[in-house]
Structure 1
Amino acid sequence: MELFKKMAVFGVRPDIVSYGSIINGLCKDGLVDKTKEMFLEMKSGGIKPNVVVCTTLIYGCCFVRNLERAKGLFFEILDQAMINELYKKGKTEEANELLELMSQRGLQPNVVTFNVMTFFY
Structure 2
Amino acid sequence: MINGLCKKGKTEEANELLELMSQRGLQPNVVTFSTVINGFCKKGKMQEANGLLELMSQRGLEPNMVTFTTMINWLCEEGKTEEANGLLKLMSQRGLQPNVVTFNTMKSGLCNEGKMEGKVEEANGLLELMSQRGFQPNLVTFNPMISGFAKRGRLRKLMG
Scaled to the shorter chain, the TM-score interval is 0.5 to 0.7
Alignment of 1:19-58 (within 5 A): 19-58=33-72
TM-score by length of 1: 0.60
| 1:80 CA displacement | 5.2
State the partner residue of 1:18.
Answer: 32
Give me the whole-angstrom Cα distance separating, in 1, the residues matched to 2:19 and 2:94: 32
Q: CA RMSD in A?
A: 2.1
| 1:60-91 deviation line (CA, Å, top 9, x unaligned) | 21122211101221233246548xxxxxxxxx
State the partner residue of 1:68.
Answer: 82
Q: Give the secondary-structure state (helix, strand or coil) at the position aligned to 2:40.
A: helix
Q: Give the secondary-structure state (helix, strand or coil) at the position aligned to 2:62.
A: coil
| 1:59 CA displacement | 1.2
Give me the whole-angstrom Cα distance separating, in 2, the residues matched to 1:2 and 1:76: 27
Q: Give the secondary-structure state (helix, strand or coil) at the position aligned to 1:54.
A: helix
Instruction: Specify every segment of 5 or more residues in structure 1 that has no aligned partner in the other structure, as ranges.
Output: 83-121
Give me the whole-angstrom Cα distance separating, in 2, the residues matched to 1:10 and 1:73: 32
Aligned residues: 83
Greater relative contact order (Cα 8 A, min sep 6): structure 1 or 2? 1
Give the greater-gyration-radius structure (CA): 2
Q: Is the 8 A contact 1:27 1:59 kept in 2?
A: no
Pick one of 16, 22, 37 that aligns with 1:2: 16
| Identical positions, percent | 30
Give me the whole-angstrom Cα distance separating, in 1, the residues matched to 2:95 and 2:27: 28
The 1:69/1:10 distance shift into structure 2, 3 A limit, reads: same
Alignment of 1:74-85 (within 5 A): 74-78=88-92, 81=95
Instruction: Specify every segment of 5 or more residues in structure 2 that has no aligned partner in the other structure, as ranges.
Output: 1-14, 97-160
